[in-house]
C-alpha cells in the first residue's frame, strides 16, 4: 500500500517535473521563435536598408560618371585644341581628331564633311569608325539630301539626338544614315573658303547625349572652323609671300646684273681715265717744261704780249697737271692699286700741319682757324699723307667759300671704335639738293663764288675715296648762308 | 640565371607599323638574349592577320601567343588602343610548352579544355609543373567548364591563371593569337615547369550586401530563379527598376552590382557579371552558377577596388617570398577599368610601387579572369572570375 502510494507520489512529481520542463522548453522555444522573428525582422530591415544603400550608390555613381565624363571630355577637348593649333595645314587639322580623343568625348564614330564648290557636293575629310564602303554610302546619302545639310550650315546650329527628340523622324533618319543610336552634328564655319559639318555618334544604347556633350562638340567644331580659317589665311599669305620672294629674287637678279654692268663700265672709265691721264702727263710735262724754259728767256727775250700768254700756258699747265694727278689718284684708289698704309697717327698734328701750310691764305682772307681736338680723341689708324690731303681739300674749300673774318673750326670726338672729325666753316653753305652731289666727280655747286673761284670738281670726290678706303664715312651738314660742317670718321685702331 | 625579358609597345594606328615599332623596342630591350617565347596583347582595332604576320616575320621561329583586350597594359600605362609585346628568354631549368584549342563552342567545353591540357602536356613528362596561363575567347559562355577540362588533364597541384579576351566593349568578337593565327572560339595557353619562381594574387574588392539568397533554379550560366522567384527580381527589388530600365542600365549595373557566389571554405565570394536579361526573368551571367548555391548581391567602390589591388599585390609578394621578379602579367577586369574611370592608372601605380617601377609589366583589360580564389593555401581549384585584378609575377 505504502509502496503504491509512494509510486503514485513519484509519478505525480515526475508529471509535474515533466510539465515544468515542457513548459520551460515551450517558453524557450517561444523565446527562440521571438528571437528568430526579431532576427528575421532585423534581416529584412537590413535588406531594406541595403536596398536604399544600393539605390543611393547607383545615383552617386551616375553623378560621378557624368562628372568624370565631363572632366575627361574637357581634357580631350583641351588636348585636341592644342593639337589642332600646332598645324596650319588644312588636311592635317582634320586628321588631328583621333579615336582616343573621340572616345574620351564619349563617342566612337565620327565623320567630317566640307562643301566642295568644284564638284558641288560634300566631301568627307574625317572618318573614324567607318569602313571605306560605309563612308562612301554616307557621303552619297548626304549629297542626295544636300539642302538639309547646307541648311544646317546656314542656320549655324548644333543638332543632337537629344535636341531632335521633338523631330523623331529626322533623328531616326540620321541615326540610320550614320549607323548610330545617339549623335551630335555641328557646323564647321571658317570665314574663308568652304564650310562643312562635324558628326560624332555612338552605337551604345545606354548613352544619352547631354547638353554638355552638345556644348563640347560645338566648341570643337568652332575650333576646327577657326583653325581652317587660320590655315587658309596662312596659305594665302604664304602664296603672296612666295610671289613677293620670287619678284624680289628676279629684281635682285636684274640689279646684280645692272651692278655688274655698272662695275664693268666704272672699271672701263677708271682704266680710261688712268690711261688718258698717263698719256696726258707726258705731253703736259713737255708743254710745262717748254713754257718754263721760254719764261726764263734763255732762248731769247720774249715780247711782253708773248710772255703774258706763255705765263698763262704755264699756269694752266699747272692746273691741268693738278687735275690729271687728282684723276690718277682717284682711279688708283678706285681700282685698288693704292692701299692705305694705316698707322697710329695724331690727327691733331696733321690738322696743325695743314693749318701751318695754309696759314698765308688764312691770313690773307682774315679767316681764323680753330683746332679744338681734345687729346683723347685724336689718335687714329690712318695713312697720314692721304689724310693730310683730306684736311687740305676740305679746309681749302672752306677757305674759298668763307667770307673774310670768318671761322673754320676743326673738332674731334670718339664715336664707338671711330674718331669723328668735324670741319665747320662760317661760309655761304651748300644748298640741300647739292649735299650728296658735291662728293661726285666734276660736280661743282652752282653759285657765284664757284663762278669766280677755280676748281677741278675732283677734290671732294678724292676726299670721299680716301675716307672710304680707310673704312670711314663722310657727309656734310649745311645751312645756306650760315656755313657747312664736313664730318668724317676714321678708325681708332688698325 | 633569370628569365631575360624585353618589352615593347606601340600606339600606332596601323597594325603593321605598330608591330614593327613594338617588336623593335622589345628586341632592343632583351639585348643579346635569344628569345624563345613572345606574349602579345593588342586592342581590337589592331587585331588582324597583318599584325601577327608582321610579328612572326620579325621573330621567326619564336612561339607567339596572346589575345585581344579592351585595353592594353604596359609599364607606360593603360591604353585603349595599342599593342604590347613581351619577349622571353627562359633560363636553364625552366621549361615551357604552349598549346591551342579551336572550335570550343562546337563541342563540350570540358572536352576542349582537356584537349588544351593534352597539348600543353606534350613533351612535359617527368618535369615538375609550376604554373599555367591561359587566354580564351571572351565571348564563350562555358569558361568554367573549359578550366575544369584543362585542370582535369594538367592537374590541380599548381595554379592556373588566365584572361578572357575582349573587344572594345561591343561584345561582338574577341581574338586569340597563336603564332600567325588570329582565331575566335578558341583558347591557348602556356605551361611552365621545372623551377619557376612566381607569385600569384587575385582579388576583386566587392562586398556582400543584403540578405543571402538561394539559387533555386539554374543551368550553366543562366539563373532562372532565386528564392523561387524570377531571378531578375533581385535586381528589381534592390534597384527599384523594372526590367526595361534594368536592360538600359545593364552595363552599369553589371559592373557595380555583380552576383557573388558563396563558396564554402573560401574567404572570397566568386563574382559573376550580369551579361543579359531574358524575357522570362532569367539572368544570364558571365560564368556558371551552380543550382542551390547561396548568392549575395555585391557592391564595389573605387576605394574597395584599389584596396583589393593592394591585397592582391601582398599575395604576390608572399608567393615570391622575397625573391625578385623578372616580369609581371596583369589580367585586369574591364569592369574595374570602367569603375575606376580617371583613377584607372592607379592600379598600375600600385603594382609598380610594390614590384619595382622598371620591372617589365604586360597585361590587358579582360572580359573575365581565370584564377584560384587564393594562391596562398591554394585549394587546387581555379575559377572563372569577374571583376578581379589577377597579377602573376614571375621570377625565373
pLDDT higher than threshold 80 for residue B209: yes
Q: What is the pLDDT of residue B377?
A: 64
Residue A305 at interface with chain B, using a CB cutoff of 8 Å: no
Q: How far is B134 from chain A (nearest CA, A)?
A: 29
Averaged pLDDT for residues B381-386: 91
pLDDT higher than threshold 80 for residue A494: no
pLDDT (tens digit per residue) in A279-314 = 777 788 888 888 888 888 888 888 888 888 888 888
Grid-cell match 553623378, residue found: A63
| Model ipTM value | 0.83
pLDDT higher than threshold 60 for residue A1: no
Q: Chain A partners of B13 at a C-beta cutoff of 8 Å?
A: 98-99
Which residues make beta-bridge pairs with A473?
Answer: none
pLDDT higher than threshold 70 for residue A454: no
Averaged pLDDT for residues B248-258: 90
Q: How far is A141 from chain B (nearest CA, A)?
A: 26
Q: What torsion do the CA atoms of A259, A264, A265, A266 make, to the nearest 10 degrees?
A: 80
Q: What is the pLDDT of residue B105?
A: 92
Do the Cβ atoms of B252 and A62 come within 8 Å? yes
Other CB atoms within 10 A of residue A420 CB: 17
pLDDT higher than threshold 70 for residue B396: no
What is the CA A433 to chain-centroid distance, rounded?
37
List C-alpha distances in Å: A319 to A273, A305, A326, B220, B346.
Answer: 17, 21, 11, 129, 101
Name the closest residue on chain A to residue B236, using Cα atoms.
Answer: A51
Q: Chain B partners of A58 at a C-beta cutoff of 8 Å?
A: 239, 252-253, 256-257
Q: Which helix (H) or strand (E) element contains residue A423?
A: strand A418-425
> How far is B206 from B268, CA to CA, in rounded Å?
9
pLDDT higher than threshold 90 for residue A5: no
3-state secondary structure of A11: helix
Q: What is the pLDDT of residue A209?
A: 86
Residue A59 at interface with chain B, using a CB cutoff of 8 Å: no
Q: What is the pLDDT of residue B213?
A: 94
What is the CA A138 to chain-centroid distance, rounded?
44
Q: How far is B288 from chain A (nearest CA, A)?
A: 25
Q: Residue A440 — very low, low, confident or very high, per pLDDT cuts 50/70/90? A: confident
pLDDT (tens digit per residue) in B308-335 = 999 999 999 999 988 889 999 999 999 9
Residue B248 at interface with chain A, using a CB cutoff of 8 Å: yes
Share of chain A above pLDDT 90, in %: 40
Q: Residue A449 — very low, low, confident or very high, per pLDDT cuts 50/70/90? A: low
Q: Chain B partners of A65 at a C-beta cutoff of 8 Å?
A: 252, 341
pLDDT higher than threshold 70 for residue A230: yes
HEC sequence for A338-353: CCCCCEEEEHHHHHHH
Mutate to test the interface with B, among A50, A70, A75 (most CBs of B within 10 A): A50
Mutate to test the interface with B, among A58, A100, A202 (most CBs of B within 10 A): A58
Averaged pLDDT for residues A140-145: 92
> How far is B199 from B326, CA to CA, in rounded Å?
11
Q: Which residues contact A456 (CB under 8 A, 6 or more apart)?
A: A319, A322, A323, A326, A442
Q: What is the pLDDT of residue B189?
A: 96
Q: What is the pLDDT of residue A92?
A: 82
Q: Residue B387 — very low, low, confident or very high, per pLDDT cuts 50/70/90? A: very high
pLDDT higher than threshold 90 for residue B354: yes
Q: Chain B partners of A62 at a C-beta cutoff of 8 Å?
A: 252
Q: Which residues contact A112 (CB under 8 A, 6 or more apart)?
A: A94, A97, A124, A125, A126, A188, A196, A197, A198, A199, A224
Q: Which residues contact B68 (CB under 8 A, 6 or more apart)?
A: B41, B42, B43, B44, B47, B165, B166, B167, B174, B175, B177, B364
Q: What is the pLDDT of residue B154?
A: 92
3-state secondary structure of A279: helix
3-state secondary structure of A271: helix
Residue B181 at interface with chain A, using a CB cutoff of 8 Å: no
Strand B181-183 versus strand B77-79 pairing type? unpaired
Q: Residue A6 — very low, low, confident or very high, per pLDDT cuts 50/70/90? A: confident
List C-alpha distances in Å: B354 to B73, B304, B317, B350, B375.
Answer: 17, 18, 8, 6, 18
pLDDT (tens digit per residue) in B122-139 = 988 888 999 999 999 999
pLDDT higher than threshold 80 for residue A443: no
Q: Residue A315 — very low, low, confident or very high, per pLDDT cuts 50/70/90? A: confident
Looking at the partner chain, which of A51, A61, A72 has a beta carbon nearest the beta carbon of B342? A72
Residue A271 at interface with chain B, using a CB cutoff of 8 Å: no
Residue A62 at interface with chain B, using a CB cutoff of 8 Å: yes
> How far is B308 from A169, CA to CA, in rounded Å?
49
Q: Residue B345 — very low, low, confident or very high, per pLDDT cuts 50/70/90? A: very high
Looking at the partner chain, which of B239, B248, B342 has a beta carbon nearest the beta carbon of A58? B239
Looking at the partner chain, which of B81, B297, B341 has a beta carbon nearest the beta carbon of A100? B81
pLDDT higher than threshold 80 for residue A453: no
pLDDT higher than threshold 90 for residue B181: yes
Residue B233 at interface with chain A, using a CB cutoff of 8 Å: no
Do the Cβ atoms of A46 and B211 come within 8 Å? yes
pLDDT (tens digit per residue) in B35-84 = 999 999 999 999 989 999 999 999 988 999 999 999 999 999 999 999 99
Q: What is the pLDDT of residue A83?
A: 86
Average pLDDT across chain B, whole number: 92
Q: Residue B224 — very low, low, confident or very high, per pLDDT cuts 50/70/90? A: very high
Task: Give the three cell numbers for residue A347.
Answer: 690727327
Do the Cβ atoms of A58 and B341 come within 8 Å? no
Averaged pLDDT for residues A212-233: 90
Averaged pLDDT for residues A219-243: 90
- Ranking A70-74, A96-100, A237-241, A394-398 by mean pLDDT, the lowest is A96-100
Q: Residue B379 — very low, low, confident or very high, per pLDDT cuts 50/70/90? A: low
Share of chain B above pLDDT 70, in %: 98
Q: Residue B378 — very low, low, confident or very high, per pLDDT cuts 50/70/90? A: low
> How far is A299 from B239, CA to CA, in rounded Å?
146
Share of chain B above pLDDT 90, in %: 76
Amino acid at each position: 500500500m505504502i509502496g503504491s502510494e509512494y509510486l503514485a507520489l513519484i509519478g505525480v512529481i515526475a508529471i509535474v517535473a515533466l510539465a515544468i520542463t515542457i513548459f520551460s522548453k515551450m517558453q524557450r522555444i517561444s523565446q527562440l521563435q521571438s528571437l528568430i522573428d526579431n532576427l528575421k525582422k532585423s534581416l529584412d530591415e537590413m535588406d531594406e536598408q541595403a536596398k536604399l544603400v544600393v539605390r543611393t550608390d547607383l545615383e552617386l555613381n551616375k553623378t560621378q560618371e557624368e562628372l568624370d565624363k565631363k572632366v575627361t571630355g574637357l581634357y580631350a577637348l583641351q588636348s585636341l585644341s592644342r593639337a589642332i593649333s600646332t598645324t596650319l595645314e588644312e588636311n592635317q587639322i582634320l586628321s588631328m581628331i583621333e579615336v582616343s580623343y573621340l572616345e574620351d568625348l564619349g563617342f566612337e564614330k565620327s565623320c567630317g564633311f566640307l562643301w566642295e564648290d568644284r564638284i558641288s557636293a560634300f566631301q568627307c575629310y574625317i572618318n573614324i569608325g567607318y569602313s571605306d564602303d560605309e563612308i562612301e554610302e554616307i557621303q552619297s546619302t548626304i549629297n542626295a539630301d544636300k539642302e538639309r545639310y547646307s541648311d544646317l550650315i546656314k542656320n549655324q546650329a548644333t543638332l543632337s539626338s537629344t535636341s531632335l527628340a521633338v523631330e523623331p523622324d529626322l533623328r531616326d533618319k540620321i541615326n540610320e544614315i550614320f549607323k548610330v543610336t545617339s549623335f551630335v552634328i555641328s557646323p564647321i564655319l571658317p570665314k574663308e573658303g568652304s564650310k562643312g559639318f562635324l558628326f560624332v555618334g555612338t552605337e551604345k544604347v545606354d548613352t544619352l547625349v547631354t547638353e554638355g556633350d552638345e556644348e563640347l562638340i560645338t566648341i570643337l567644331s568652332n575650333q576646327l572652323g577657326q583653325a581652317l580659317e587660320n590655315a587658309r589665311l596662312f596659305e594665302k599669305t604664304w602664296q603672296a609671300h612666295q610671289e613677293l620672294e620670287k619678284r624680289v629674287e628676279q629684281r635682285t637678279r636684274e640689279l646684280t646684273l645692272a651692278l655688274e654692268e655698272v662695275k664693268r663700265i666704272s672699271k672701263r672709265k677708271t682704266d680710261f681715265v688712268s690711261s688718258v691721264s698717263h698719256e696726258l702727263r707726258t705731253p703736259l710735262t713737255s708743254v710745262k717744261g717748254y713754257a718754263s724754259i721760254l719764261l726764263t728767256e734763255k732762248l731769247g727775250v720774249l715780247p711782253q704780249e708773248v710772255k703774258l700768254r706763255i705765263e698763262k700756258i704755264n699756269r694752266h699747265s699747272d692746273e691741268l697737271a693738278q687735275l690729271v694727278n687728282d684723276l690718277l689718284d682717284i682711279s688708283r684708289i678706285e681700282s685698288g692699286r693704292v692701299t692705305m698704309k694705316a698707322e697710329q697717327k695724331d690727327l691733331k698734328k696733321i690738322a696743325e700741319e695743314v693749318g701751318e701750310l695754309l696759314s698765308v691764305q688764312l691770313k690773307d682772307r682774315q679767316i681764323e682757324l680753330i683746332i679744338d681736338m681734345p687729346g683723347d680723341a685724336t689718335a687714329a689708324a690712318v695713312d697720314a699723307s692721304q689724310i693730310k690731303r683730306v684736311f687740305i681739300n676740305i679746309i681749302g674749300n672752306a677757305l674759298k667759300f668763307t667770307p673774310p673774318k670768318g671761322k673754320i673750326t676743326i673738332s674731334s670726338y670718339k664715336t664707338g671704335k671711330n674718331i669723328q672729325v668735324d670741319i665747320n666753316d662760317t661760309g655761304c653753305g651748300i644748298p640741300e639738293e647739292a649735299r650728296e652731289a658735291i662728293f661726285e666727280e666734276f660736280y661743282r655747286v652752282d653759285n657765284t663764288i664757284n663762278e669766280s673761284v677755280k676748281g677741278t670738281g675732283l677734290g671732294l670726290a678724292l676726299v670721299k675715296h680716301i675716307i672710304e678706303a680707310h673704312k670711314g664715312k663722310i657727309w656734310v651738314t649745311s645751312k645756306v648762308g650760315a656755313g657747312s660742317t664736313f664730318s668724317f670718321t676714321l678708325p681708332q685702331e688698325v | 640565371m633569370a628569365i631575360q625579358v624585353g618589352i615593347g609597345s606601340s600606339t600606332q594606328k596601323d597594325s603593321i607599323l605598330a608591330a614593327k615599332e613594338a617588336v623593335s623596342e622589345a628586341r632592343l630591350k632583351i639585348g643579346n638574349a635569344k628569345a624563345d617565347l613572345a606574349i602579345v596583347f593588342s586592342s581590337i582595332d589592331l587585331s588582324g592577320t597583318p599584325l601577327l604576320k608582321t610579328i612572326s616575320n620579325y621573330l621567326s621561329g619564336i612561339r607567339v601567343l596572346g589575345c585581344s583586350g579592351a585595353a592594353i597594359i604596359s609599364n607606360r600605362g593603360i591604353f585603349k588602343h595599342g599593342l604590347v609585346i613581351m619577349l622571353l628568354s627562359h633560363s636553364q631549368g625552366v621549361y615551357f610548352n604552349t598549346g591551342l584549342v579551336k572550335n570550343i563552342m562546337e563541342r563540350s567545353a570540358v572536352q576542349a579544355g582537356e584537349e588544351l591540357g593534352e597539348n600543353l602536356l606534350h613533351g612535359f613528362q617527368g618535369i615538375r609543373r609550376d604554373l599555367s596561363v591561359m587566354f580564351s575567347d571572351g565571348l564563350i559562355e562555358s569558361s568554367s567548364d573549359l578550366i575544369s577540362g584543362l585542370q582535369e588533364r594538367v592537374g590541380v597541384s599548381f595554379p592556373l591563371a588566365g584572361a578572357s579576351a575582349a573587344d572594345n566593349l561591343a561584345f561582338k568578337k574577341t581574338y586569340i593569337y597563336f603564332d600567325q593565327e588570329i582565331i575566335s572560339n578558341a583558347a591557348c595557353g602556356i605551361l611552365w615547369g621545372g623551377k619557376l619562381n612566381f607569385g600569384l594574387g587575385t582579388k576583386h574588392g566587392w562586398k556582400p550586401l543584403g540578405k543571402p539568397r538561394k539559387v533555386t533554379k539554374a543551368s550553366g550560366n543562366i539563373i532562372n530563379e532565386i528564392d523561387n522567384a524570377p531571378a531578375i527580381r533581385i535586381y528589381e527589388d534592390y534597384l527599384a527598376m523594372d526590367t526595361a530600365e534594368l536592360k538600359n542600365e545593364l552595363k552599369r549595373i553589371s559592373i557595380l552590382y555583380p552576383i557573388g557566389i558563396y563558396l564554402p571554405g573560401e574567404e572570397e565570394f566568386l563574382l559573376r557579371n550580369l551579361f543579359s536579361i531574358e524575357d522570362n526573368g532569367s539572368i544570364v551571367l558571365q560564368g556558371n552558377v551552380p543550382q542551390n548555391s547561396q548568392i549575395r548581391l555585391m557592391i564595389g567602390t573605387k576605394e574597395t577596388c584599389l584596396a583589393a589591388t593592394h591585397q592582391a599585390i601582398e599575395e604576390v609578394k608572399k608567393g615570391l617570398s622575397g625573391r625578385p621578379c623578372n616580369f609581371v602579367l596583369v589580367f585586369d577586369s574591364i569592369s574595374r577599368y570602367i569603375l575606376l574611370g580617371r583613377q584607372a592608372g592607379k592600379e598600375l601605380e600600385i603594382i609598380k610601387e610594390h614590384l619595382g617601377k622598371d620591372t617589365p609589366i604586360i597585361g590587358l583589360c579582360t572580359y573575365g579572369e581565370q584564377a584560384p580564389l587564393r594562391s596562398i593555401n591554394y585549394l587546387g581549384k581555379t575559377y572563372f572570375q569577374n571583376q578581379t585584378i589577377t597579377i602573376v609575377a614571375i621570377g625565373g
